[in-house]
Amino acid sequence: MNLRHFSVLLLVVVVLIPWAGLGKYPLHLMVMAALWGYIYTSWAIMGRLGMVSFGHGAFLGVGAYSVVLCWNLWGLSPWIGALIGVVATVVLAVIIGYPCFRFKIVGHYFALVTLALSEVVRLVIVALREQTGGSLGITPKSALGGGESYSLMALQFDSKLVWFYIMLAFWLMALWVWHQVDRSMTRLALQAISDEEDAAASVGIPVNRSKLQVTVLSAVMTCIGGVLYAQYQLYISPETVSGISISLQMVFGAIAGGMFILLGPTFGAVFLLILSEGLRILVGNDIHGVDQLIYGLLLVLFIIFMPEGILGGLLKRLKAQPAQSGQQSLAQRS
Protein backbone atom coordinates (compact mmCIF):
# COMPACT_ATOMS: atom_id res chain seq x y z
CA MET A 1 0.00 0.00 0.00
CA ASN A 2 1.52 3.30 -1.09
CA LEU A 3 1.11 6.65 0.67
CA ARG A 4 -1.77 7.82 -1.53
CA HIS A 5 -3.84 4.67 -0.87
CA PHE A 6 -3.12 4.93 2.85
CA SER A 7 -4.23 8.57 2.87
CA VAL A 8 -7.51 7.74 1.13
CA LEU A 9 -8.15 4.88 3.55
CA LEU A 10 -7.40 7.12 6.52
CA LEU A 11 -9.78 9.79 5.20
CA VAL A 12 -12.56 7.23 4.78
CA VAL A 13 -12.05 6.06 8.36
CA VAL A 14 -12.17 9.64 9.66
CA VAL A 15 -15.38 10.34 7.71
CA LEU A 16 -17.08 7.22 9.08
CA ILE A 17 -15.88 7.44 12.71
CA PRO A 18 -18.73 9.73 13.88
CA TRP A 19 -21.24 7.05 12.86
CA ALA A 20 -19.65 4.56 15.27
CA GLY A 21 -21.88 5.73 18.12
CA LEU A 22 -19.53 8.25 19.69
CA GLY A 23 -20.86 10.48 22.43
CA LYS A 24 -21.11 14.25 22.20
CA TYR A 25 -17.85 14.89 24.03
CA PRO A 26 -15.61 12.70 21.79
CA LEU A 27 -17.33 14.20 18.75
CA HIS A 28 -16.70 17.69 20.15
CA LEU A 29 -13.00 16.86 20.48
CA MET A 30 -12.91 15.68 16.87
CA VAL A 31 -14.56 18.92 15.74
CA MET A 32 -12.01 20.98 17.66
CA ALA A 33 -9.12 18.86 16.35
CA ALA A 34 -10.27 19.48 12.75
CA LEU A 35 -10.75 23.21 13.43
CA TRP A 36 -7.35 23.72 15.07
CA GLY A 37 -5.77 21.51 12.41
CA TYR A 38 -7.14 23.93 9.83
CA ILE A 39 -5.94 27.00 11.78
CA TYR A 40 -2.45 25.60 12.47
CA THR A 41 -2.09 24.60 8.82
CA SER A 42 -3.11 28.15 7.83
CA TRP A 43 -0.35 29.55 10.06
CA ALA A 44 2.24 27.04 8.83
CA ILE A 45 1.66 27.97 5.18
CA MET A 46 3.40 31.23 6.08
CA GLY A 47 5.58 30.15 9.00
CA ARG A 48 7.38 27.34 7.15
CA LEU A 49 8.50 29.77 4.44
CA GLY A 50 10.69 31.84 6.74
CA MET A 51 8.07 34.30 8.07
CA VAL A 52 7.36 33.41 11.68
CA SER A 53 4.33 35.39 12.83
CA PHE A 54 3.20 35.84 16.42
CA GLY A 55 0.29 37.99 15.29
CA HIS A 56 -2.16 35.48 13.83
CA GLY A 57 -4.25 35.78 16.96
CA ALA A 58 -5.20 39.22 15.61
CA PHE A 59 -6.57 37.74 12.38
CA LEU A 60 -8.41 35.00 14.28
CA GLY A 61 -9.96 37.67 16.52
CA VAL A 62 -10.97 39.88 13.59
CA GLY A 63 -12.83 36.97 11.98
CA ALA A 64 -14.56 35.88 15.17
CA TYR A 65 -15.66 39.34 16.32
CA SER A 66 -16.70 40.46 12.82
CA VAL A 67 -19.42 37.82 12.49
CA VAL A 68 -20.62 38.12 16.08
CA LEU A 69 -20.80 41.93 16.14
CA CYS A 70 -22.43 42.16 12.71
CA TRP A 71 -25.06 39.65 13.82
CA ASN A 72 -25.70 41.04 17.30
CA LEU A 73 -25.56 44.77 16.57
CA TRP A 74 -26.95 45.08 13.04
CA GLY A 75 -28.60 41.74 12.32
CA LEU A 76 -26.28 41.02 9.40
CA SER A 77 -25.90 37.36 8.49
CA PRO A 78 -22.59 35.71 9.45
CA TRP A 79 -22.04 35.19 5.72
CA ILE A 80 -21.85 38.97 5.32
CA GLY A 81 -19.96 39.33 8.60
CA ALA A 82 -17.39 36.80 7.38
CA LEU A 83 -16.91 38.79 4.16
CA ILE A 84 -16.41 41.99 6.19
CA GLY A 85 -13.92 40.16 8.42
CA VAL A 86 -11.97 38.91 5.41
CA VAL A 87 -11.78 42.42 3.92
CA ALA A 88 -10.65 43.85 7.28
CA THR A 89 -8.05 41.07 7.57
CA VAL A 90 -6.64 41.77 4.10
CA VAL A 91 -6.34 45.48 4.93
CA LEU A 92 -4.70 44.72 8.29
CA ALA A 93 -2.27 42.19 6.77
CA VAL A 94 -1.23 44.67 4.07
CA ILE A 95 -0.84 47.52 6.57
CA ILE A 96 1.46 45.39 8.72
CA GLY A 97 3.12 43.29 6.04
CA TYR A 98 3.98 45.78 3.33
CA PRO A 99 6.04 48.22 5.48
CA CYS A 100 7.87 45.29 7.09
CA PHE A 101 8.78 43.75 3.75
CA ARG A 102 9.48 47.12 2.14
CA PHE A 103 11.99 48.11 4.84
CA LYS A 104 13.36 44.55 5.26
CA ILE A 105 12.06 43.98 8.79
CA VAL A 106 12.66 40.24 8.97
CA GLY A 107 13.46 37.49 11.44
CA HIS A 108 13.09 38.36 15.11
CA TYR A 109 12.08 41.94 14.33
CA PHE A 110 9.19 40.79 12.14
CA ALA A 111 8.08 38.40 14.89
CA LEU A 112 8.07 41.28 17.39
CA VAL A 113 6.00 43.50 15.10
CA THR A 114 3.39 40.79 14.63
CA LEU A 115 3.44 40.10 18.37
CA ALA A 116 2.55 43.74 18.99
CA LEU A 117 -0.25 43.52 16.42
CA SER A 118 -1.83 40.59 18.23
CA GLU A 119 -1.78 42.40 21.56
CA VAL A 120 -3.08 45.67 20.06
CA VAL A 121 -6.12 43.89 18.61
CA ARG A 122 -6.80 42.24 21.97
CA LEU A 123 -6.60 45.58 23.78
CA VAL A 124 -8.97 47.19 21.26
CA ILE A 125 -11.48 44.39 21.84
CA VAL A 126 -11.24 44.88 25.59
CA ALA A 127 -11.52 48.67 25.28
CA LEU A 128 -14.73 48.46 23.23
CA ARG A 129 -16.45 46.61 26.06
CA GLU A 130 -19.89 48.11 25.39
CA GLN A 131 -19.95 46.46 21.96
CA THR A 132 -17.64 43.46 22.43
CA GLY A 133 -18.34 42.58 26.06
CA GLY A 134 -14.73 43.37 26.97
CA SER A 135 -12.79 40.71 28.81
CA LEU A 136 -16.04 38.89 29.71
CA GLY A 137 -16.60 37.96 26.09
CA ILE A 138 -19.74 37.91 24.00
CA THR A 139 -22.31 35.34 22.87
CA PRO A 140 -23.99 35.45 19.45
CA LYS A 141 -27.76 35.75 19.56
CA SER A 142 -29.35 32.38 19.04
CA ALA A 143 -31.34 31.86 15.87
CA LEU A 144 -32.52 28.41 16.94
CA GLY A 145 -35.92 28.21 18.52
CA GLY A 146 -39.36 26.75 18.09
CA GLY A 147 -37.97 23.29 17.48
CA GLU A 148 -35.54 24.38 14.76
CA SER A 149 -32.21 22.55 14.83
CA TYR A 150 -30.36 24.69 12.30
CA SER A 151 -30.33 28.09 10.65
CA LEU A 152 -28.32 28.39 7.46
CA MET A 153 -28.68 32.17 7.36
CA ALA A 154 -27.31 32.50 10.92
CA LEU A 155 -24.80 29.71 10.34
CA GLN A 156 -25.92 27.94 13.50
CA PHE A 157 -26.36 24.18 13.74
CA ASP A 158 -27.47 22.22 16.78
CA SER A 159 -25.86 19.00 15.55
CA LYS A 160 -22.17 18.47 16.25
CA LEU A 161 -22.14 15.97 13.39
CA VAL A 162 -22.91 18.76 10.92
CA TRP A 163 -20.12 20.86 12.41
CA PHE A 164 -17.71 17.94 12.17
CA TYR A 165 -18.19 17.64 8.42
CA ILE A 166 -17.96 21.42 8.00
CA MET A 167 -14.66 21.51 9.89
CA LEU A 168 -13.43 18.45 7.99
CA ALA A 169 -14.17 20.17 4.68
CA PHE A 170 -12.24 23.30 5.68
CA TRP A 171 -9.35 21.17 6.99
CA LEU A 172 -9.14 19.35 3.64
CA MET A 173 -9.27 22.73 1.89
CA ALA A 174 -6.29 23.91 3.96
CA LEU A 175 -4.33 20.80 2.95
CA TRP A 176 -5.23 21.48 -0.69
CA VAL A 177 -4.04 25.10 -0.40
CA TRP A 178 -0.78 23.85 1.19
CA HIS A 179 -0.32 21.48 -1.77
CA GLN A 180 -1.03 24.25 -4.28
CA VAL A 181 1.46 26.59 -2.60
CA ASP A 182 4.04 23.79 -2.71
CA ARG A 183 3.56 23.47 -6.47
CA SER A 184 3.68 27.20 -7.13
CA MET A 185 6.63 29.38 -8.03
CA THR A 186 5.90 31.48 -4.93
CA ARG A 187 7.19 28.72 -2.67
CA LEU A 188 10.44 28.45 -4.60
CA ALA A 189 10.77 32.22 -4.55
CA LEU A 190 10.21 32.42 -0.79
CA GLN A 191 12.69 29.63 -0.17
CA ALA A 192 15.28 31.58 -2.12
CA ILE A 193 14.32 34.75 -0.25
CA SER A 194 14.64 33.06 3.15
CA ASP A 195 18.13 31.81 2.21
CA GLU A 196 19.42 35.12 0.85
CA GLU A 197 16.99 37.96 0.20
CA ASP A 198 19.38 40.29 -1.63
CA ALA A 199 20.57 37.54 -3.94
CA ALA A 200 16.96 36.55 -4.71
CA ALA A 201 16.08 40.15 -5.53
CA SER A 202 19.15 40.47 -7.78
CA VAL A 203 17.93 37.65 -10.05
CA GLY A 204 14.51 39.26 -10.50
CA ILE A 205 12.41 37.56 -7.79
CA PRO A 206 9.63 39.94 -6.60
CA VAL A 207 10.52 39.76 -2.90
CA ASN A 208 7.88 42.06 -1.42
CA ARG A 209 5.04 40.78 -3.59
CA SER A 210 5.83 37.12 -2.88
CA LYS A 211 5.96 37.70 0.87
CA LEU A 212 2.78 39.76 0.87
CA GLN A 213 0.84 37.20 -1.16
CA VAL A 214 1.55 34.38 1.28
CA THR A 215 0.97 36.65 4.29
CA VAL A 216 -2.46 37.71 3.04
CA LEU A 217 -3.37 34.11 2.14
CA SER A 218 -2.38 32.82 5.60
CA ALA A 219 -4.13 35.72 7.36
CA VAL A 220 -7.41 35.25 5.43
CA MET A 221 -7.47 31.51 6.14
CA THR A 222 -6.88 32.21 9.84
CA CYS A 223 -9.67 34.80 9.79
CA ILE A 224 -12.05 32.17 8.42
CA GLY A 225 -10.93 29.91 11.25
CA GLY A 226 -12.07 32.62 13.67
CA VAL A 227 -15.48 32.71 11.96
CA LEU A 228 -15.85 28.95 12.34
CA TYR A 229 -14.73 29.06 15.97
CA ALA A 230 -17.28 31.76 16.87
CA GLN A 231 -20.17 30.05 15.12
CA TYR A 232 -19.40 26.65 16.61
CA GLN A 233 -18.61 27.65 20.18
CA LEU A 234 -21.22 30.44 20.26
CA TYR A 235 -19.01 32.29 22.71
CA ILE A 236 -15.83 34.27 22.18
CA SER A 237 -13.57 36.36 24.38
CA PRO A 238 -10.27 38.20 23.88
CA GLU A 239 -8.42 35.36 25.61
CA THR A 240 -9.85 32.60 23.41
CA VAL A 241 -9.55 34.19 19.95
CA SER A 242 -6.96 36.96 20.22
CA GLY A 243 -3.84 38.13 21.99
CA ILE A 244 -0.42 36.67 22.62
CA SER A 245 -1.61 33.43 24.20
CA ILE A 246 -3.62 32.25 21.19
CA SER A 247 -0.81 33.27 18.81
CA LEU A 248 1.67 31.30 20.91
CA GLN A 249 -0.70 28.34 20.79
CA MET A 250 -0.70 28.40 16.97
CA VAL A 251 3.09 28.57 16.80
CA PHE A 252 3.54 25.81 19.35
CA GLY A 253 0.97 23.52 17.73
CA ALA A 254 2.49 23.83 14.27
CA ILE A 255 6.08 23.42 15.49
CA ALA A 256 5.21 20.54 17.83
CA GLY A 257 3.57 18.55 15.04
CA GLY A 258 6.06 19.52 12.33
CA MET A 259 5.34 22.67 10.35
CA PHE A 260 7.35 21.51 7.31
CA ILE A 261 5.16 18.41 6.79
CA LEU A 262 1.66 18.46 5.30
CA LEU A 263 -0.03 16.72 8.23
CA GLY A 264 2.39 18.09 10.83
CA PRO A 265 0.19 21.01 12.03
CA THR A 266 -2.81 18.66 12.27
CA PHE A 267 -0.75 16.23 14.32
CA GLY A 268 0.23 19.17 16.52
CA ALA A 269 -3.44 20.13 16.91
CA VAL A 270 -4.31 16.64 18.14
CA PHE A 271 -1.29 16.59 20.47
CA LEU A 272 -2.12 20.02 21.89
CA LEU A 273 -5.79 19.11 22.35
CA ILE A 274 -4.85 15.99 24.29
CA LEU A 275 -2.37 18.01 26.35
CA SER A 276 -4.89 20.75 27.17
CA GLU A 277 -7.60 18.27 28.11
CA GLY A 278 -5.13 16.37 30.27
CA LEU A 279 -4.10 19.57 32.05
CA ARG A 280 -7.74 20.50 32.55
CA ILE A 281 -8.42 17.15 34.22
CA LEU A 282 -5.24 17.08 36.32
CA VAL A 283 -4.88 20.74 37.25
CA GLY A 284 -8.33 22.18 36.59
CA ASN A 285 -8.95 25.90 36.26
CA ASP A 286 -7.71 26.87 39.72
CA ILE A 287 -4.20 27.86 38.59
CA HIS A 288 -4.60 30.51 35.91
CA GLY A 289 -1.99 30.56 33.13
CA VAL A 290 -0.38 27.18 33.89
CA ASP A 291 -1.28 25.93 30.40
CA GLN A 292 0.46 28.87 28.73
CA LEU A 293 3.52 28.32 30.92
CA ILE A 294 3.71 24.68 29.85
CA TYR A 295 3.12 25.60 26.18
CA GLY A 296 6.00 28.09 26.30
CA LEU A 297 8.34 25.62 28.01
CA LEU A 298 7.50 22.85 25.57
CA LEU A 299 7.92 25.23 22.62
CA VAL A 300 11.49 25.99 23.70
CA LEU A 301 12.22 22.28 24.18
CA PHE A 302 10.80 21.37 20.78
CA ILE A 303 12.82 24.09 19.03
CA ILE A 304 16.03 22.90 20.71
CA PHE A 305 15.68 19.11 20.69
CA MET A 306 13.07 18.34 18.02
CA PRO A 307 12.90 21.15 15.43
CA GLU A 308 11.30 18.84 12.87
CA GLY A 309 8.36 18.18 15.22
CA ILE A 310 6.82 14.97 16.49
CA LEU A 311 5.57 13.75 13.12
CA GLY A 312 8.78 14.83 11.43
CA GLY A 313 10.81 12.94 14.02
CA LEU A 314 8.72 9.80 13.56
CA LEU A 315 9.07 9.90 9.78
CA LYS A 316 12.80 10.49 10.11
CA ARG A 317 13.15 7.38 12.28
CA LEU A 318 11.03 5.30 9.92
CA LYS A 319 13.26 6.33 7.00
CA ALA A 320 16.39 5.59 9.00
CA GLN A 321 15.33 2.05 9.94
CA PRO A 322 15.46 0.55 6.39
CA ALA A 323 18.84 2.20 5.83
CA GLN A 324 20.19 0.76 9.08
CA SER A 325 18.83 -2.71 8.29
CA GLY A 326 20.41 -2.50 4.82
CA GLN A 327 23.77 -1.58 6.30
CA GLN A 328 23.54 -4.44 8.78
CA SER A 329 22.71 -6.97 6.08
CA LEU A 330 25.60 -5.66 3.96
CA ALA A 331 27.95 -5.98 6.90
CA GLN A 332 26.81 -9.57 7.52
CA ARG A 333 27.41 -10.51 3.88
CA SER A 334 30.88 -9.03 3.92
Residue 286 located in a structural domain: no
Residue 48 located in a structural domain: yes
Residue 179 located in a structural domain: yes
Residue 49 located in a structural domain: yes
Alpha helices of the chain — where are they, by DSSP H? 3-16, 24-47, 56-74, 78-102, 107-127, 129-132, 160-183, 185-195, 197-202, 207-233, 238-241, 243-257, 264-282, 290-305, 309-333
| pLDDT for 5 | 65
Residue 253 located in a structural domain: no
DSSP 54-85: S-HHHHHHHHHHHHHHHHHHH---HHHHHHHH
Residue 168 located in a structural domain: yes
CA 37 to chain CA centroid, nearest Å = 6
Specify which residues 236 forms β-bridges with.
Answer: 138
pLDDT tens for the 334 residues of the chain, in order: 555 666 677 778 888 888 887 788 999 999 999 999 999 999 999 999 888 999 999 999 999 999 999 999 999 999 999 999 999 999 999 999 999 999 988 888 999 999 999 999 999 999 999 999 999 999 999 988 767 788 999 999 999 999 999 999 999 999 999 999 988 887 888 888 877 888 888 888 888 899 999 999 999 999 999 999 999 999 999 999 998 889 989 998 999 999 999 899 999 999 999 888 887 777 766 666 676 777 778 878 887 888 888 888 888 887 776 655 555 665 565 5
Residue 70 located in a structural domain: yes
Say how many domains are in the chain.
Answer: 1
| CB-count exposure of residue 256 (10 Å: 0-12, 13-18, 19+) | buried
Give the domain extent around 176. Answer: 23-243
Q: How far apart are CA 224 and CA 221, in angstroms?
A: 5
For the entire predicted model, the pTM comes to 0.91
